[in-house]
Structure 1
Amino acid sequence: MTSSLPVARDLAGWLAYIEALHPASIEMGLERVALVSQRLKLDPQFPIIIVAGTNGKGSTCAMLESIYQAAGYKVGCYTSPHFIRYNERVRVAGLEVTDAGLVRAFEAVEQARQDVALTYFEFGTLAAVRYMVEAGVDVGILEVGLGGRLDAVNVFSPVCSIVTSVDLDHMDFLGNDRECIGREKAGVFRPDVPAICGDDHPPSSLQAHAAEIGADLRLIGHEFGYDVLAEGWRYQSSGREYHLPLPALAGDFQLSNAASVINAVDALVTVLPVALKHMQQGLQQVALNGRFQLCRDHPQVILDVAHNPHAALALASNLAQHPVSGRTLAVFSMLADKDIAGVVQVVAPYIDVWHIARVEHSRGASVVQLLEFVTAQARSGSAYAHEDVNAAYQQACNDAGENDRIIVFGSFFTVADIMRELAITGPAEIAPHRFNKDSRIFDGI
């Protein structure tokens, strides 16, 4: 399928064009993207790290990026989705790629693809790597969009692969249980290449695939692990031991991510040397929006992209470990194809008032659907419907006292709406919040 080239060759025109290029937003398979990659002669000479997982991918990519930048490397990082601007998806040397840079990369992909219909993500993945090659990065960090085995980033050969966690999400594409999903995520592993898994109960399918292909499998709790100390934490792996500060993205869940990151950095030390001080500095400086992110006080306003039960469990743990003297008000919206009931059930005990709206997206659940799930799963707490997420947020702000808190959650789109409301335009503008120096909170991704 083809579409008319954008009349306006600016970034907005290109994004509209590539969105209309393929009849499906998702089509699993590597054949199309591999063919166009060959036509582009994309053969990155820099080492690539691929990061897959149900939750924790964004945090892991951010920590890797921060550590390698602290060590003086020019880092390319490709993540998804974005909150406000598409440019957020592609960073080089800590900066978002400019509109002009993206347009240049899109033009190159368009010229190479000819009659091949790429999905939005496939087109963007090739453009991101094309830009990294052009920019001459020292290392590229690529986040899987969905699954792993058939995801567009998997067309490239990694020097290390990380699977952060395996849980139930995207089941229409990946399978109905953790064993099926684990097998798909293990598809990013390669023979004789470090294959790191930060899930403390990895599916047997993931381990079996790693053994079958001869990957250098490293499991948290086996080949590496960590202990929490009175001050910071201790990483341990085969004779190595590092004392490290708590990551700026604090919490138990984040420590699993951080341990996987340190194992990856150690595994690549002969390719990308990193000193202990750079690990420490990188963990302290990492920043990422939408992960139990405190934006305001009195009342607290917290943004969290939790959108599946596994992430909701982390969010619930955060809320439980850091109670407020007042009420907790939720601004809530989800996509219809997610496990809304599972998310609501986990978080409901910590919510006093629900402000519900439909997110402005084709996959957004209706207010009627959301209310049904909330009234069925939340046995206490009032629920109110609103025209949109911003209206729900404004009403929550009007109702909240200075000792209350407002938690905005349910999807990236829900959080993005309120980021615009709060004029948050980049991760560096809001410092990650630590509730107190001894607290250990989960990440909500």
Structure 2
Amino acid sequence: MNIEPILKKLYSMRQFHIKLGLERIEKLLDVIDNPHKKLKCFHIAGSNGKGSTASFLASILMEQGYKVGLYTSPHLIKFNERIRINGQEIEDEYIFNFYNSIEKLINEIEPTFFEITTALAFQYFFDNKVDYAIIETGLGGRLDATNIINPLASIITSISLEHTNVLGNTIEKIAQEKAGIIKKGTLVISGNMPLLAENVIRTKANESGCKYFPLDSFVVRNKDHVDVNLNNKTYKIYTTPLRGYHQLLNCSLAVKCLNEILGIDDFLKINKGIKNVVINTGISGRYEIINDKPRIIFDSAHNPEGVKIFLEEFTREYYSYSKRELIFGVMKDKNIKEMLKLLTPFFDSIYVTSIQNERAATIDEIVNITDEINIDVIPLKNPDDYIKKFFLEDSEKCLVVLGSIYLLGEIKLKIKEFMLDNKK
């Protein structure tokens, strides 16, 4: 079945000027009999780490024998990646039938791309009778389309300055928007974040009569592992398939949440859920090693906090390479100047590129920013061709492709067959 015409219609509804608010999604869901009200959900928000945390939650639940729906965004290569049940992507036929069943309503109320996708996920999870649904917010929290649910637990992974034109220009204001997913009497868990942000979440949780666990109330950070304090047990996490110490913290949030809500404390099954997170959920683009020699790394760091997290891991292997190169591309609403200031000291050459997306910063726009801050960059129109050339150099070099997940997805799609044919 060809769903490209349907996807083309959906993509045409993407809004650069994001339309926040719950009125349209409420109307949409009401027409399809509010499937979200019949789901048991976990809700995840945050500036960084929400996709990883959601994936750890889903994978651990799957290893417990549950049927689990996972809704994340954006997709890397294919739209269907956004909506999965036990790792399997939503079928083209279901997307086709769902869109056609509500097309008249879409024309009437003009919902956004994300609102339609969210309604699709809720209906799909309900029709397939999932035991639990893991729901990741799109933008912010309070007015995000996913905030129509009444979850078992809300996890806020991190807070940093992002989307300041929409969410506010201070850490406190952004924290207030993210804390908007907190519902009365539910469990609330927060991750690694500034004290100012944590205080906002704590206040909201207390006002809502919630049981609240900030990260440092249940996690002890050690040099090479973390200890997660559960009810009468301590669970140690040394490593996950997702590289970086920060992933130990994201994983801790999931483990603590499931212990509190469902009493899950079978360490063997938790271990299996962590070990199989990539297999079970398909998550990628988080310090993903595409090739070893020469080293090629894909990372979806898309804001200064994400860059700092990337560099924490990259500095562990920085000195292993004779030369380090970077391909960089992001959306135009990101703090490009600060990201490149952080990245520049670690790379010998920086290439800047763009993608076919109305929200993407163009090469010229990035170059203009780098001119302002005296950073030398090289425009690169065809990053896939450059990666193919780099791949064939059997050297001690390292190439990092970093920025928007849309960039990673577009490049991955173009080099997929080449990588399979030339696997080293």
Tell me whether the two structures share a fold, i.e. TM-score over 0.5. yes
The yes-or-no answer on 1:279 pairing with 2:270 is yes
- SS of the equivalent of 2:130 reads coil
Do the aligned partners of 1:22 and 1:118 also contact (CA within 8 Å) in 2? no
Q: 1:314 to 1:356 in 2, by over 3 A?
A: same
Take 1:367 and 1:357, find their aligned partners in 2: how far apart are those partners? Answer: 5
Q: Is the 8 A contact 1:355 1:393 kept in 2?
A: no
User: In structure 2, which of residues 395, 405, 408 is the aligned counterpart of residue 412 of structure 1?
Assistant: 405
Contact 2:140/2:178 (8 A) holds in 1? yes
Matching residue of 1:16: 8
Worse-superposed segment, 21-30 or 212-221: 21-30
1:235 and 2:231 aligned: no
Matches within 5 A, 1:233-382: 233-237=226-230, 239-269=232-262, 273=264, 275-287=266-278, 288-323=283-318, 324-374=320-370, 377=373
Name the structure 2 match of 1:117.
110
The Cα shift of 1:294 comes to 0.4
- Partner residue of 2:24 out of 16, 19, 32: 32
Which stretches in structure 2 are left out of the alignment for 5+ residues?
Answer: none
Q: Is the 8 A contact 1:142 1:153 kept in 2?
A: yes
- Mapped to 1, the partners of 2:162 and 2:130 lie a distance apart of 33
Q: Secondary structure of the residue that 1:335 maps to in structure 2?
A: coil
Separation (CA, whole Å) in 2 of partners of 1:58 and 1:258: 11
Q: Retained in 1: the 8 A contact 2:75–2:406?
A: no
Give the counterpart of 2:219 among 205, 221, 225.
225
Residue in 1 aligned with 2:384? 390
TM-superposed CA distance for 1:274, in Å, is: 5.9
CA pair 371-113 structure 1, distance change in 2 beyond 3 A:
closer
More helix by share: 2
Q: Tell me what 1:440 maps to.
A: none
SS at match of 1:259: helix
Residue deviations 1:288-318, cap 9 Å, x none?
2111100112111100111110001111222
- Report the 3-state secondary structure (helix = DSSP H, G, I; strand = E; otherwise coil) of the residue aligned with 2:155: strand
Shift of the alpha carbon at 1:252?
1.6
Number of paired residues?
411
The alpha-carbon deviation at position 248 of structure 1 amounts to 1.4
TM-superposition CA deviations, 1:214-235 (whole Å, max 9, x none):
222210112x1133476x5421
Q: Cα 1:351–1:373, aligned 2, differ >3 Å: closer, same or farther?
A: farther
Measure, in 2, the Cα distance between the counterparts of 1:376 and 1:401.
Answer: 36
Check whether the contact 2:230–2:259 (CA below 8 A) recurs between aligned residues.
no
Give 1:113-262 correspondences, 5 Å limit: 115-202=108-195, 203=197, 204-222=199-217, 224-228=218-222, 233-237=226-230, 239-262=232-255
What TM-score, normalized to structure 1?
0.86
1:434 equivalent in structure 2: none
CA distance in 1, matches of 2:220, 2:6: 45
In structure 1, runs of 5+ residues without a counterpart are: 1-8, 430-445
> Which shows bigger deviation, 158-167 or 44-53?
44-53
Which shows bigger deviation, 32-41 or 125-134?
Answer: 32-41
Contact 1:356 1:370 survives alignment (8 Å): yes
Measured in 2, the distance between the counterparts of 1:347 and 1:401 equals 25
Partner Cα separation in structure 1 for residue 378 and residue 326 of structure 2:
10
TM-score (norm 2): 0.90
Identity percentage of aligned residues: 26
Task: Note the 1:66-77 alignment, pairs <5 A.
Answer: 66-77=59-70
Alignment match, 2:396? 403
State how 1:77-88 maps to structure 2 within 5 Å: 77-88=70-81
How far does residue 407 in structure 1 lie from its aligned partner after superposition?
Answer: 0.1
Alignment-mate amino acid for residue 309 of structure 1: P
| Cα shift readout 1:2-32 (whole Å, capped 9, x = no counterpart) | xxxxxxx942222222334577662110111
Q: Match of 1:358, SS?
A: coil
- State the secondary structure of the residue aligned to 1:72: coil
RMSD: 2.4
Helix, strand or coil for the counterpart of 1:141? strand
